[in-house]
Amino acid sequence: MPTARLSGLNALVIGGSSGIGQTLAEGFQREGARVAIAARTTDKVSRVTERLRESDSSALGYTVDVTERQAIDRLATDVSRDMGTLDILVNCQGTTVIKPATEVSEAEFDQVLDTNLKSVYFTSTVLGGLMLDRGQGAIINIASLAAHRGWPNACAYSISKHGILGLTRTLAAEWAEQGVRVNSISPGFFLTELNRDRMPAERKQAALTRTPYNRFGEVDELVGAALFLASEESGFVTGTDISVDGGYLAGGI
């Protein structure tokens, strides 16, 4: 029987209590990783942690607001105490505001940027410090098609996701010699808790029209890319973004 691809590795998925993050946490666990999740809502964290513990009693869950720097410091302390080492970090936290740019308030702008970009910077630099201390590790940031195109009526979100690509590439270049790889995944259109009820019907139809596969993605279809970036199979891959988008970015007219 072949060895699980992540056997013996410790993984932390921030935003792992729902949607893409939960799916990645479950996928990592199936491949042998010891998994911890972190998210803001206690009930959701508890529910998913209990589900993970059905397969591995050592699974962990942390309730944390990663928009607060001190909370990230505490998370790093807890992870170091509970897991000993950290091999894989996934940043999957995210929020959005769907409205014209001129109508976005300062508070709404700050909420999106704090959640989608600022928190990823500090989770990467603080928790990544646990990897730098050992000279090995893999960070995977969840970007978006909005990191590659202008995204009307989601300006703050698009800004934050463009920032994720810049952060990913810069940390990759800075940390390569120290053994820590940093990559990102840009999902195409996947109906998740974040966007299912916020995306207008006409926007959903436009997404399908511009996606050569002519369908929405299934979140399980993101697991393969994440496993590749988390495992030794991508040992010489850093600073790269993998688009899992049904051909959206490749499509023409």
Residue 236: exposed, middle, or buried by beta-carbon count in 10 A (0-12, 13-18, 19+)?
exposed
**Does some domain include residue 102?**
yes
- Would residue 246 count as lying in a domain? no
- Domain count along the chain: 1
For residue 101, is it within any domain?
yes
Q: Which residues of 66-88 are buried (b: 16+ CB within 10 A; e: fewer)?
A: bbeeebbeebbeebeeebeebbb
pLDDT of residue 50: 98
Residue of 62, 121, 157, 248 marked active site: 157
Q: Is residue 173 part of a domain?
A: yes
Q: Is 137 helix (H, G, I), strand (E, B) or coil?
A: strand
Beta bridge partners of 243: 186
d(CA 171, CA 225): 20
Is 216 inside any structural domain?
yes
Domain coverage including residue 35: 10-239
Q: Identify whether 5 is part of a domain.
A: no
Q: Given this model, what pLDDT does residue 73 score? A: 98
- In the chain, which residues have pLDDT < 50? 1
pLDDT value of residue 202: 80
pLDDT at 151: 87
Radius of gyration of the chain (CA): 17
Write down the pLDDT at residue 203.
77
In a domain, 137, yes or no: yes
**How far apart are the C-alpha atoms of 145 and 149, rounded to whole Å?**
7
User: What are the angstrom distances between the C-alpha of 226 and each of 3, 40, 77, 110, 133?
Assistant: 18, 22, 25, 29, 23
Has 213 been annotated as catalytic?
Answer: no
Whole-number pLDDT of residue 251: 86
**Cβ(210)–Cβ(248) below 8 Å:** yes
Examine residue 4 and state whether it is found in any structural domain, yes or no.
no
CATH of the domain at 60: 3.40.50.720
Specify the pLDDT at position 197: 65
The predicted pLDDT at position 205 comes to 86
Specify the pLDDT at position 194: 60
